[in-house]
Structure 1
Amino acid sequence: MIYRNLLLCALLILTVSASFAQDEIPDDSDQIVYTVVDAFGDTVTITPTDLERIISIGGAVTEILYDLGMGDNIIAVDVSSIYPPQTADLPTVGYLRFLSAEPVLSYEPSLIITTEDAGPVDTLRLIQSVGIPVLIVPAEDTPEGAAEKIRTVAAGVGKSDEAEAIIEAMRRDIERAQALVEMVETRPRVLFVFAGSNIALGVLGRASGGHQMLELVNVENAITIEDGYIPLTAEAIVAAAPDIILTTSLSVERVGGVENFLNLPGISLTPAAQNGRIVYEQMDDLFLLGFTPRLGDAILNLTYLLHEDLPRPAYAVVRLSPALEQFEAQLRRAGQLEALDIDEPLTVLAPNNDALTLADTELSASELSALILQGAIPPQEMTAVPADMIEAVISTANGYVYILNGLPE
């Protein structure tokens, strides 16, 4: 099976070390130096002092740095850096494909990390010429490409052990998705519609990261054209006849909301729209297209969302009282929860214990287990929960976590 071979290949490569070099070389002052061969083939030397003022250019790079615990070292980002939410508080230096040296240098960075998609190259070379190290990270839109990105960034900031833990978690999620899709007998036709911050609304063809995502969750791309991006036309939409339309939450926001999206040329005439199969909620651009550390989450969530015939995960009811504040803080740091005004203990409905496990959580497995009061609430019963009881919904690798202000009847 082509799908099985694709995932097995990805999983094997995820477990193999990347080809770049990372050396810790003491100089005369015993300072550690990180030496990395980047995507341009340049040998980049980075010292701990260089890590103090990082400009991160590229949403995937920024997300990786936060996951590695380097968020406090970032002084500016580019406009594609939309996750985690705290990036909104940072100044921006423009868009990674259209950089200018002056705004970048005005922040007096000690290190710039970006991807091979960034440009123009002359701008990057100009920045290098003034003595600022520039680390260029690979940008291949595949699971192995995501692992390479993580390893390269981590090598430059001295966090290679942390990188391997992130990659291992991603690999486990991809394995779970593989096990799930082997249970399905049909492949729905999915149309991936996208509106970027700098491009008009269009559909993603086979030479795109969006197509790679559809392949990884074993669905059929309703667009057969090899181009990566095709402008949206009513004729193309209707001819595609998708069972499901997949888009990002920001794409819907950019056209003025879901009602406006449904009124776009041809959309309302598709089987997807007529059957209410528009998937976009909690799907930011980087989540679906960035091939970031959340790739495993994205593949697993899409597997459930696009294959309706899969068995849904069972829910557990978790009561968070003394540990609630601590748990909430962890969720905020992970960018999964913006705010909760809490006056009393809340109820959390989650697929399983793993859904509440975060990479940097301070709650041990035993503490999480001790919080479970009641289990086995079937997912279908969630439909009976009044909307005003739902305080927040958190997307995780194992499904959605519902935080309620009480127990459902």
Structure 2
Amino acid sequence: MPLSPSRRRLTSAILALVVVSSAAGCAATTDPVTGATATPDTAAAQCPGADVPLTELVAAASPATLTGESTACLSSQAIEPIAGTPTPALPVTVTDNDGLTVTVTNADRIIAVDRSGTLAATVFALGLGDRVIARDSSTEFPGAADLPLITQNGHELAAEAVIALAPTVILTDRTVGSRDVLAQLREVGIPIVVVTADRSLSDNAVLIGQVATALGVPAAGTALTERLTSETDATIASIAALAPQNPADRPRILFLYMRGASSIYYIFGAESGADSLIDSLGGIDVASEFGWQGMKPLTAEALVATAPDVLLVMTNGLKSVGGVDGLLDTIPALQATPAGQHRRIVDMRDDAILAFGPRTSEVLDSLARAIYAPDAS
């Protein structure tokens, strides 16, 4: 599915931020911008209450009455594969997202790279994880964390490292690796399939279908899509029951991207993926309501005008500005909003919050807990 002009502009903006921010150097968990790493699955020990179903949680009468920051964490980073181990039916010839005709003859040695780790997670969920031979800096879930790292300085793909591993197919969405590097890899005969870079609930089926088709396991792709759709629909239904029933009480949510070391602050609006996320969480995407599309630089006027009740942010982005206190000091206008006054900042791992793909249901579940019933965790 070709990118719309607005999506292309958005992807270019994100890539620019990746380049600018790669030298910022944030610590702690995996940062898809800087490549900082942490021990996989440490979140599992930090999510008390995650075993209580959403349907059993009691939410505040109105999210606007809540105070204090919250962290949404996945109880496990593991990727659950579909039942059975599919056998790729190859060769297959596909027209990729760049419009190129690519023939894949062998899927024994797969490299799948993107800025959020979604492609590798998809390959593992399809049941082909034992064929993945390398990882990018955002791929740290169990089963992949010990693979050779082939990105450097954040998300620069190292051509020599890739060639040395002799992959039989590479899957990418162009958020990792420059055109020159990909051209170099094609010149040595490695089939490269470029898939969609769009990330939202509605794009999950497209992404899974493209990956499964390129690897010769379309039936597995259908099975994974059906499972993910069922899980996500059930989670969204549980969130709808947990969220305020009166539309006027729905939380007004703003997604803010930040990298303090580079003084980068962007609002994510319509067609950014954040709008799809917020809508599924039963919230009002105030950036879209304000008419903002894609990514826009933050302004004090827009922040005050949108009047968010809750800010969604990436964990390492929040750390880069010195946490909630640092954010409030850095952006004084935030203190004129309900979110700032009540310190309602919800953070989540950078490699999860907008990744979508196989972990969509778990991401929504974790964010809903942090937004509606943070005391339960």
Structure 1 or 2: more strand by fraction: 1
Do structure 1's residue 68 and structure 2's residue 135 form an aligned pair?
Answer: no
CA contact (8 A) 1:113 1:134 kept: yes
CA contact (8 A) 2:281 2:368 kept: yes
Report Cα offsets for 1:236-281 as digits up to 9, x if no partner: 333332111111223223334343334331334421232242211x
Matched AA of 1:190: I
Query: Partner of 1:210 in structure 2?
Result: 274
The 5 Å alignment of 1:193-208 reads 193-195=256-258, 200-208=264-272
CA contact (8 A) 1:75 1:91 kept: no
Report the Cα distance in structure 1 between the residues aligned to 2:351 and 2:164, rounded to whole angstroms: 27
Query: Partner of 2:32 in structure 1?
Result: none
CA contact (8 A) 1:39 1:116 kept: no
The 5 Å alignment of 1:85-96 reads 86-87=144-145, 90-94=148-152
Choose from 180, 184, 199 the match for 2:245: 184
Query: Partner of 1:231 in structure 2?
Result: 297
Corresponding residue SS for 1:51: coil
The 5 Å alignment of 1:366-385 reads none
Corresponding residue SS for 1:76: coil
Choose from 336, 354, 366 the match for 1:289: 354
CA contact (8 A) 2:133 2:147 kept: no
Structure 1 gaps, min length 5: 1-22, 26-31, 313-378, 383-399, 401-409
CA contact (8 A) 1:286 1:292 kept: no
Matched AA of 1:139: A
Identity of aligned residues (%): 30
The answer to which of 155-164 and 211-220 deviates more is 155-164
Greater C-alpha Rg: 1
Report the Cα distance in structure 2 between the residues aligned to 1:85 and 1:256, rounded to whole angstroms: 33
The 5 Å alignment of 1:40-189 reads 40-48=98-106, 50-52=107-109, 54=111, 56-58=113-115, 59-81=117-139, 83=141, 86-87=144-145, 90-94=148-152, 99=157, 101-102=159-160, 104-117=162-175, 120-176=178-234, 177-178=236-237, 180-181=239-240, 184-186=245-247, 187-189=250-252
Report the Cα distance in structure 2 between the residues aligned to 1:150 and 1:33, rounded to whole angstroms: 19
Structure 2 gaps, min length 5: 1-86
Report Cα offsets for 1:298-339 as digits up to 9, x if no partner: 334444544x3xxx7xxxxxxxxxxxxxxxxxxxxxxxxxxx
Query: Partner of 2:315 in structure 1?
Result: 249
Summarize the Cα distance change of 1:44–1:287 in structure 2 as closer, same or farther, 3 Å threshold. Answer: same
The answer to which of 258-267 and 240-249 deviates more is 258-267
Corresponding residue SS for 2:232: helix
Report the Cα distance in structure 1 between the residues aligned to 2:153 and 2:293, rounded to whole angstroms: 23
CA contact (8 A) 2:311 2:346 kept: yes
The alpha carbon displacement at 1:97 in A equals 7.5
CA contact (8 A) 2:109 2:166 kept: no
The answer to which of 152-161 and 193-202 deviates more is 193-202
Summarize the Cα distance change of 1:144–1:96 in structure 2 as closer, same or farther, 3 Å threshold. Answer: farther
The 5 Å alignment of 1:20-35 reads 32-35=90-93
The 5 Å alignment of 1:369-408 reads none
CA contact (8 A) 1:57 1:96 kept: no
Task: Give TM-score scaled by structure 2 length.
Answer: 0.62
Corresponding residue SS for 1:91: coil
Matched AA of 1:54: I
Query: Partner of 2:344 in structure 1?
Result: 277
Report the Cα distance in structure 1 between the residues aligned to 2:154 and 2:363, rounded to whole angstroms: 23
Task: Give TM-score scaled by structure 1 length.
Answer: 0.58
Summarize the Cα distance change of 1:174–1:41 in structure 2 as closer, same or farther, 3 Å threshold. Answer: same
Cα RMSD after superposing both structures: 3.5
Query: Partner of 1:320 in structure 2?
Result: none
Matched AA of 1:154: A
Report the Cα distance in structure 2 between the residues aligned to 1:38 and 1:142, rounded to whole angstroms: 19
CA contact (8 A) 1:173 1:299 kept: no
CA contact (8 A) 1:139 1:145 kept: no
The alpha carbon displacement at 1:73 in A equals 3.2
CA contact (8 A) 1:97 1:118 kept: yes
Report Cα offsets for 1:350-407 as digits up to 9, x if no partner: xxxxxxxxxxxxxxxxxxxxxxxxxxxxx97x6xxxxxxxxxxxxxxxxx7xxxxxxx
